[in-house]
């Protein structure tokens, strides 16, 4: 039972699942150095190196399209488009795959037969197909609908070379066979815009007719249109509806450059137009948003049908949100649910539950959980057990032995923490999680499935807990970091709810994850795009003598100190770098270890968005963030 006085909302009580497992434990090693850019020796959270899991599993489906006869789904993290040659009536396997030579592989590529982190797919009634190939900064075009797996596109539209952007990162691509609209999500000072061809381009050399770039457009995403009306979600827009996650509406097809939107919606949505109705799934929240009349003004945008929490289906949107109405059925993409849920006929409103789903046998099932896909995994270890927490899943997975083989499931699975844990600390058998406004802890974790005996929510003494990003305990000192307050607080021993810290460090930029040993306190950043990892000796806490690790500030989301060295993740470089000691890093010496090819792919020697790390005596575990879902184990070679 939860500790006395702690009452989580209904359906949010923390539970633990105990499993019968059988796996080979890892063999400890005395080696301390890695070979630069070496292959990972083990993986957790996935299906294998260059393995998709097959044709009936999705890894973050992001978009769906149809020409009335066929159905296509973008399976983004598997770098492929899945095609059904007739509209499916049940969870059947697709007939074709585009972007891969077969249904089993998932590697990225740059040829006309390959994809890299694809976004929206769109099919016109006359059989044209376009795909926003996001990481390749291009649109791929099939002038006739593909008829075999692995079929190359007829040509590509390279956005950067065509309009002078740098890293355009297109997410949205819509066509009716006559017009083409593309959302340019990035691209430097010249990026973040919608570009429009009023006549379908017959090659990749034809410049767009219109460019819509103004102060309201931040990072435009998927495009919803019927050929006249245009809606695009925007993660970072600035409108009267909301700064940040919102959506832009052009009530009629734009006719001039930089034409401002006619209306906005509060929230980033994507979906489909059915007659005069707009049916959308939101990036955040767990329900649909539904308008019986296409909203064309700000006031009409407020007139959607609300759904009370817990009513109907628990929708799992996210960075991909799309829908299509075809053959009398409504298909809705659930990016964070790993499925496409389907109504066999158009529902009367958003409070109904879907009838079935593609990607799973039951739309209430989450294939990620069923297949042990951990998102934003943060590893930690005491040399005997492996722990992986996840803020996204609000979970903690525990292996009571260090895994010595890939793909093994945990012995214990804790879910759902009310305060999503961003960081984890393990010292001997003492375990702490921290995130949002709460802390969870076990003073003596024994691996039998016990619930945390420590839960602190909201405050410690006079300190309000908000946006917690880091926690560490070394047996003598306990520390927390707050992104909101730009502070790191340190206590002697484990605090209770009324204990005041003995030291407070002011961090000018957002402090993130923490780590420590007997000598050093390590502070990484969040957000970490320009953050230098900071360190301080515990003996220097009275004078608050913080020191910066120089030169290596490429989004260091994590930094750890271990008995084989000091390591920093560089998320924007897709690498982990390491030195023999903190002192060597402080002295500006070059790293002795570099893990990850730097290409940010799914190859066995690559890391996609390096996030966090842990050393277990056998391998250095590296968790991937957001667009990567693996936890990779690198074993020292020398």
Asked if the model's pLDDT at residue 309 lies above 80, the reply is no
Cα dihedral 445, 446, 450, 454, rounded to 10, equals -20
- State how beta strands 534-537 and 520-525 pair: antiparallel
Q: What is the pLDDT of residues 88-114, one digit of tens each?
A: 999 999 999 999 999 999 999 999 999
pLDDT at 555: 86
Read off the tokens for 589: 């010496």
C-beta of residue 629 within 8 angstroms of C-beta of residue 106? no
Rounded Cα distance, 385 and 371, in Å: 21
Q: What is the pLDDT of residues 159-172, one digit of tens each?
A: 999 999 999 999 99
Most confident of 191-195, 346-350, 616-620: 616-620
Rounded Cα distance, 501 and 495, in Å: 8
For all residues of the chain together, what is the average pLDDT? Answer: 94
**CATH match for 67-81+110-369 among 1.25.40.10, 2.120.10.30, 2.60.40.10, 3.40.50.970:** 2.120.10.30
Rounded Cα distance, 66 and 82, in Å: 12
Binned at pLDDT 50, 70 and 90, residue 310 comes out as confident
Rounded Cα distance, 174 and 186, in Å: 18
Q: What is the pLDDT of residues 204-230, one digit of tens each?
A: 999 999 999 988 999 999 999 999 999
Stronger pLDDT, 189 or 156, i.e. the higher one: 156
Rounded Cα distance, 324 and 442, in Å: 47
Rounded Cα distance, 198 and 201, in Å: 9
pLDDT at 78: 97
Query: Average of pLDDT values for 80-84?
Result: 98
Query: Average of pLDDT values for 571-593?
Result: 95
Alpha carbon separation from 383 to 23, 220, 596, 614 (Å, rounded): 17, 45, 24, 10
- Domain(s) labelled CATH 2.120.10.30 in the chain stretch across 15-46+372-634, 67-81+110-369
pLDDT over 70, % of the chain: 98
Rounded Cα distance, 494 and 442, in Å: 11
SS3 assignment, position 628: coil
Binned at pLDDT 50, 70 and 90, residue 12 comes out as low
Stronger pLDDT, 191 or 605, i.e. the higher one: 605
- Provide CATH code, domain 15-46+372-634: 2.120.10.30
pLDDT at 89: 98
Query: Average of pLDDT values for 14-23?
Result: 94
Q: What is the pLDDT of residues 556-567, one digit of tens each?
A: 899 999 999 999
> pTM above the 0.85 mark?
yes
Query: Average of pLDDT values for 193-206?
Result: 97
Phi, psi of 396 (to 5 degrees): -140, 125
pLDDT at 2: 32
Q: What is the pLDDT of residues 432-457, one digit of tens each?
A: 999 999 999 999 999 999 999 999 99
Weakest-pLDDT range from 143-152, 306-315, 318-327, 461-470: 306-315
């Amino acid at each position: 039972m939860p500790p006395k006085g702690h009452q989580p909302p209904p359906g949010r009580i923390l539970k633990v699942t105990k499993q019968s497992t059988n796996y080979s434990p890892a063999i400890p090693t005395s080696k301390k150095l890695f070979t630069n850019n070496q292959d990972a020796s083990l993986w957790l959270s996935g299906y294998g190196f260059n393995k998709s899991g097959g044709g009936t599993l999705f890894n973050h489906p992001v978009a769906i399209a149809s020409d009335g006869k066929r159905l296509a789904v973008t399976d983004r993290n598997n770098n492929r488009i899945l095609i059904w040659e007739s509209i499916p009536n049940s969870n059947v396997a697709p007939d074709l795959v585009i972007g891969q030579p077969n249904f089993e592989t998932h590697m990225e590529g740059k040829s006309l037969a390959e994809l890299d982190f694809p976004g929206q797919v769109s099919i016109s009634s006359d059989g044209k197909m376009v795909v926003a190939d996001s990481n390749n900064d291009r649109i791929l075009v099939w002038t006739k609908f593909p008829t075999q797996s692995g079929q190359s596109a007829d040509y590509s539209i390279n956005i950067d070379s065509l309009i002078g952007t740098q890293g355009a990162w297109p997410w949205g691509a819509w066509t009716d066979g006559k017009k083409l609209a593309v959302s340019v999500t990035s691209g430097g000072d010249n990026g973040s815009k919608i570009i429009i061809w009023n006549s379908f381009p017959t090659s990749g050399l034809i410049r767009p007719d219109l460019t819509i770039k103004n102060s309201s457009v931040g990072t435009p995403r998927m495009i919803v249109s019927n050929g006249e009306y245009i809606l695009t979600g925007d993660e970072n827009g600035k409108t009267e509806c909301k700064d940040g996650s919102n959506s832009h509406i052009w009530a009629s097809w734009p006719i001039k450059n930089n034409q401002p939107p006619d209306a906005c919606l509060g929230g980033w949505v994507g979906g489909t137009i059915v007659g005069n109705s707009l049916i959308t799934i939101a990036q955040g929240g767990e329900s649909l948003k539904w308008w019986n009349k296409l909203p064309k003004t700000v006031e009409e945008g407020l007139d959607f049908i609300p759904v009370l929490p817990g009513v109907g289906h628990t929708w799992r949107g996210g960075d991909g949100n799309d829908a299509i109405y075809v053959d009398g059925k409504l298909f809705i993409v659930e990016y964070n649910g790993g499925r496409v849920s389907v109504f066999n006929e158009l529902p009367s409103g958003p409070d109904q539950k879907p009838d079935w789903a593609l990607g799973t046998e039951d739309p209430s099932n989450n294939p990620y959980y069923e297949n042990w896909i951990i998102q934003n995994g943060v590893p930690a270890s005491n040399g005997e057990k492996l722990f992986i927490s996840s803020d996204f899943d609000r979970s903690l997975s525990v292996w009571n032995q260090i895994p010595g083989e890939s793909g093994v499931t945990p012995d214990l699975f804790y879910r759902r923490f009310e305060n999503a844990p961003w960081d984890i600390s393990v010292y001997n058998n003492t375990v702490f999680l921290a995130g949002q406004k709460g802390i969870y802890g076990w003073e003596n974790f024994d691996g039998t499935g016990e619930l945390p005996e420590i839960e602190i929510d909201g405050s410690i003494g006079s300190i309000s807990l908000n946006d917690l990003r880091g926690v560490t305990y070394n047996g003598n000192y306990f520390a927390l970091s707050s992104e909101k307050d730009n502070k790191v607080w340190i206590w002697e021993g484990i605090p209770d709810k009324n204990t005041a810290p003995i030291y407070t460090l002011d961090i000018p930029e957002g402090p993130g994850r923490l780590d420590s040993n007997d000598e050093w306190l390590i502070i990484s950043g969040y957000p970490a795009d320009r953050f230098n990892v900071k360190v301080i000796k515990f003996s220097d806490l009275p004078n608050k003598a913080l020191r910066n690790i120089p030169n290596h500030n490429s989004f260091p989301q994590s930094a750890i100190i271990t008995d084989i060295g000091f390591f920093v993740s560089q998320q924007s470089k897709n690498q982990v770098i390491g030195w023999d000691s903190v002192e060597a890093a402080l002295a500006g010496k070059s790293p002795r270890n570099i893990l990850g090819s730097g290409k940010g792919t799914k190859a066995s020697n690559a890391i996609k968005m390096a996030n966090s790390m842990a050393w277990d005596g056998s391998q250095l575990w590296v968790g991937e963030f957001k667009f990567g879902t693996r936890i990779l184990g690198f074993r020292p070679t020398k």
